[in-house]
Amino acid sequence: MRSAHTVEQVRAAEATLMSRLPEGALMQRAAAGLAVAISDLLGRVYAAKVLLLVGAGDNGGDALWAGAMLARRGAAVEAVLLSSKVHEAGLAALRSSGGRAVLAAEAHRPDVVVDGIVGIGGRPGLRDEAAEALALFEGVPVVAVDVPSGVDVDTGRLPDRHVRADLTVTFGTLKIAHLVDPAAQSCGVVHLVDLALDLPEPPVEALQPVDVARLVPTPGPFGHKYTRGVVGVRAGSETYPGAAVLCTSGAGSGLAGMVRYSGSAADAVRARHPEVVASEGRVQAWVVGSGGDTDAEAALADALSDGVPTVVDADALIYVEQGPPGLVLTPHAGELARMLDVEREAVEADQLGFARRAASEYDAVVLLKGRHTLVARPDGRVRVTTSGVPWLAVAGAGDVLAGVIGSLLAAGLDPWDAASVGSWLHGAAATQASGGGPLTATRVADAIPEVVQGLAS
């Protein structure tokens, strides 16, 4: 599990650790990890040109100490001091190692810029002098210390002016901005330097393959199709029969024992999936709404009357009200905006905030689709899906995802696990099926069994 903590949690853990260590030891650990990461990015140290943008606070100190370590190994290190209150011991170490402080306009064109402007406790945004200094070195790779300066660390929101990093070297734990868009897009590759912090339960986390392998339901030696779960699908319509086919493709990827289909696209479903049972009967979970068009409202009412966990997607989302228990809502940003009566742009700017708000207002698990999909619980805990590729933004992919989540619900996972595991499998299947190029929703569904098989190896 990749855990992301709040600034307050990190500060408290750092204070506890520092009370047990010699003064300055924690900063030395962080600076050493930062120096190694910069070296790896450069591919060499001797004669490399390194520019530090240094603000007040510990991030500036980390940058200065790392710069001193690089200078001792032969790098030409210059520091632009953007505050009158920089870390004095770090600056002295840099100068004694051969580095020097310069004005931004006097600095040589560097091989890398190190962003030590603002730490995790800083206000979002950049002051004029910092923005102007950054602009002088446009096109040079940027390494951010802990977080790109200017981002809103605890929310993932982005102000107008902030650093866009190629590499972010963070310490102790991930921060929320490293996982949650839009801020995560400005972090580049995130490298974690372990500081052995004693941290509480994280409010935001990201499943890793080992977590998914532990959570995916696997059949026992005496299992059969009914004990493994029956997932019902009420999707598609005369206008969108393909949505029913794709939804049953996801539901029938082998994670549950059986798929039932109820709707107007039965012939299309049977033609693609002869194993799907197109008749009424008992199910352990429903998937409703994908391509439902004008059939969606009635389909949702019928599904909810069964009292089983239900995935509500696409056209059915506008008919959802708070509760009953066991709902998984799967909107994209535009659909969530309609559900909350806000503008889409607002949702895209504050994805974490609106996903949490919807989960609370609807008392349901809410999966907000995106580059980094968010799965929020009513209590505010969130999982972020970081598997997947941009090629996954293709028609029908959401129909497959809804079916996958429904099959995991039917197999016995709770709504939060089903949604987050389903989202991870969906993204991993897209990555595998894509191979770096275009793909279709059908290929995503077809790749899911192979991804699950790979988890077990």
- pLDDT for 104 equals 95
Residue with tokens 């935001």: 204
Q: What is the pLDDT of residues 378-427, one digit of tens each?
A: 999 999 999 999 999 999 999 999 999 999 999 999 999 999 999 999 99
Residue with tokens 């709770």: 414
Q: What is the pLDDT of residues 132-181, one digit of tens each?
A: 999 999 999 999 999 999 999 999 999 999 999 999 999 999 999 999 99
- pLDDT for 454 equals 94
Chain CA centroid to CA 81, Å = 34
DSSP-H helix ranges across 160-318? 176-179, 209-215, 241-251, 266-272, 296-304
ω into 324 cis (within 30 of 0): yes
DSSP-H helix ranges across 55-127? 58-72, 88-96
Say which residues have a Cβ less than 8 Å from residue 222's Cβ, sequence separation at least 6: none
Residue 290 pLDDT greater than 80, yes or no: yes
425/450 Cα distance (integer angstroms): 10
- pLDDT for 222 equals 87
Beta strand 142-145 with 167-171 is parallel
DSSP-H helix ranges across 136-274? 176-179, 209-215, 241-251, 266-272
Q: Going edge to edge, which strands form the sheet with 112-116?
A: 100-102, 76-81, 49-54, 112-116, 142-145, 167-171, 189-193
- pLDDT for 123 equals 87
- pLDDT for 91 equals 97
Dihedral sign from CA coordinates of 294, 297, 300, 306: negative
| Average pLDDT score over residue span 434-447 | 96
Model confidence at 121, in pLDDT bands (50, 70, 90)?
confident
The separation between the first and the last C-alpha atoms of the chain, rounded to the nearest angstrom, is 19
Please name every residue paired with 342 in a beta bridge, in sequence order, or none if there are none. none
101: exposed, middle or buried (C-beta count within 10 Å: 0-12, 13-18, 19+)? middle
Please name every residue paired with 277 in a beta bridge, in sequence order, or none if there are none. 260
- pLDDT for 119 equals 86
Residue 455 pLDDT greater than 80, yes or no: yes
122/181 Cα distance (integer angstroms): 19
Residue 54 pLDDT greater than 90, yes or no: yes
Model confidence at 192, in pLDDT bands (50, 70, 90)?
very high
Measure Cα distances from 101 to 53, 104, 126, 141 in Å: 10, 9, 21, 20
| Average pLDDT score over residue span 274-285 | 95
408/422 Cα distance (integer angstroms): 7
Model confidence at 322, in pLDDT bands (50, 70, 90)?
confident
Average pLDDT, the chain: 96
255/52 Cα distance (integer angstroms): 51
Kindly state the DSSP code that residue 20 receives in the 8-state scheme.
T
Residue 99 pLDDT greater than 80, yes or no: yes
Share of the chain above pLDDT 90, in %: 95
Model confidence at 453, in pLDDT bands (50, 70, 90)?
very high
Residue 273 pLDDT greater than 80, yes or no: yes
- pLDDT for 441 equals 97
Nearest to 320 by CA among 343, 333, 303, 342: 303
Residue 457 pLDDT greater than 80, yes or no: no
Share of the chain above pLDDT 70, in %: 100
The number of helix segments (H) and strand segments (E) in the chain equals: 16, 18
Nearest to 339 by CA among 352, 324, 322: 322
Q: Please say whether the beta carbons of 302 and 319 come within 8 A.
A: no
- Other beta carbons less than 10 A from residue 440's beta carbon: 17
Q: What is the pLDDT of residues 8-32, one digit of tens each?
A: 999 999 999 999 999 999 999 999 9
- pLDDT for 432 equals 95
Q: At what angle do helices 333-340 and 351-362 cross, to 10 degrees?
A: 50
452/425 Cα distance (integer angstroms): 8
256/258 Cα distance (integer angstroms): 6
Domains of the chain (ranges; CATH) run 2-206 (3.40.50.10260), 209-456 (3.40.1190.20)
Q: What is the pLDDT of residues 195-251, one digit of tens each?
A: 999 999 999 999 999 999 999 999 989 889 999 999 999 999 999 999 999 999 999
Radius of gyration, CA atoms only, the chain: 25
Please give the full DSSP string across 76-135, using - where no structure is assigned: EEEEEE-SSS--HHHHHHHHHTT-EEE-GGGPPPPSEEEEES--TTSPSS--HHHHHHHH
Q: pTM (2 decimals)?
A: 0.95
- pLDDT for 261 equals 98
Nearest to 146 by CA among 123, 126, 117: 117
- pLDDT for 316 equals 97
